Amino acid sequence: MQKKETYEWGDGVFTLLSWFKKDKVRNARVLVAGAGALGNEVVKNLALFGVGQIYVVDFDKIEISNLTRSVLFREEDAYNHSFKSEIVAKRAMEINPQIKVTPIVGNLFSEVGFGLYNSVDVIIGCLDSIIARYLLNRMAMRAGKTWIDGSIENMTGVVRVYTPGISCYECGLSREEFNNIMLRTGCADVFRMQGNAGRVATTPISASIIGAMQVQEAMKIIHLSEDEPVPFKTLQGKMLRYEGLTNSVNTYKYASWKATCPAHERWDNIIKIDSLSAENSVKEVLSILKDFLNVNAIEINMRNNKFIDKIISDKPEKEFLIRLPESKLDDYITDNEELRKLSYKTLFHKCFIENIDEYFPYPEMSLKDVGIPLYDVIQVSTDKGLFFVELTKDASIFNLA
């Protein structure tokens, strides 16, 4: 058996590029939201470039219809009902064994810890709904990170780059779009409206071109430096539109930044506590926080995911004990035969908890079970003010310790 040669990815290839910095790419961290057609192309290209850490978020499973435009999926993946993010991660590391691709099966708003958003160099959005982009934009702006949005339909594709202080997705929404989002984000099933529907009429060529442009922009963002000039221009504050029907490519100024936009909330001065994890119980976390912050009264604010204690049906009037985060409510109702049947003909009233303090009725539950994801940053209200606290112990799970 022939011994494998040792080599370093990209040597003698990318190192010939005058602008390419091997160490920057190898040490880069990129979060990819969505693992459908665009996500496949984006992760494949990031792997080929040798980006050291890639995180792929998607809660959907692979279907036969995905195979026509998703380069990393196989027929058996659809028959096995495999999760998109897990298969994308597996196949990308087969392409390049020298990188680490971490799949996250969940939605990007309530099941991806803010510590991860805060730790990456750039975010790439491979989504197909306005609500998903709205939520991703909120998290990116909160973390002060550039995010690269891609969209495809038929033979058309668009790439937009949003950077804090330059452009914001929410600032560019029309009044009608914004009102529709406000209406829909009040619904219990908002968490199921964040991912890829996988039914957009498009071609594998559109996905290839737009996914490639997104990664090209990501590489530029990774290489940006305040200390030295770069030989390229980015799409920050711009939109690139590719039209395959007419073979035209145009770039437009697409920057909107309104001073009063609520999406510009920035979480900085984050306190890192090495002993805190989402696996800790509520009781343990409250105790650690009180000691560390030297406060008497404390309350953890459930910003992204309320805790549902119980629901009550209208007809018949009946109470159901739930004890789950709101993001898991839809699946719970679907999997429960009695609740599933009732859901077609009755309304459910939710009894929820938005803030966790010493009176929380289930102190032995972990933060994760309550609805706070691993490596999150929690908003903590105290008698001495408001603090943002990182669950730093979870960093090792994402190879960040």
Q: Give CATH superfamily name and number for 14-264.
A: NAD(P)-binding Rossmann-like Domain (3.40.50.720)
Q: How sure is the predictor about 343, in pLDDT bands with cuts at 50, 70 and 90?
A: confident
**Residue 265 near residue 385 (C-beta atoms within 8 A):** no
User: Is the per-residue pLDDT at 186 higher than 80?
Assistant: no
- CA 90, 218, 17 angle in degrees (round to 5)? 95
Write the DSSP string, 251-292. Answer: EEE-----TT-GGG----SPEEETT--TTSBHHHHHHHHHHH
Mean pLDDT lowest for which of 92-101, 254-263, 361-370? Answer: 254-263
Residue 113 DSSP class: -
pLDDT of residue 195: 44
What whole-number distance in Å separates Cα of residue 240 and Cα of residue 290? Answer: 50
- CA 147, 217, 390 angle in degrees (round to 5)? 35
Across 184-188, average pLDDT: 47
pLDDT of residue 12: 86
Across 73-83, average pLDDT: 97
Mean pLDDT lowest for which of 187-201, 243-257, 378-392? Answer: 187-201
User: Is the per-residue pLDDT at 176 higher than 50?
Assistant: yes
pLDDT of residue 369: 96
Q: How sure is the predictor about 193, in pLDDT bands with cuts at 50, 70 and 90?
A: very low
User: Is the per-residue pLDDT at 389 higher than 80?
Assistant: yes
User: Is the per-residue pLDDT at 235 higher than 60?
Assistant: yes
Mean pLDDT over the full length of the chain: 91
Q: State what percent of residues in the chain have pLDDT above 90.
A: 78
Domain boundaries, the chain: 14-264, 271-398
Across 129-157, average pLDDT: 95
Amino acid (one-letter) located at 386: L
pLDDT of residue 191: 43
Across 111-119, average pLDDT: 96
Across 198-210, average pLDDT: 81
Strands of 13-85, DSSP E: 29-33, 53-57
Across 294-306, average pLDDT: 93
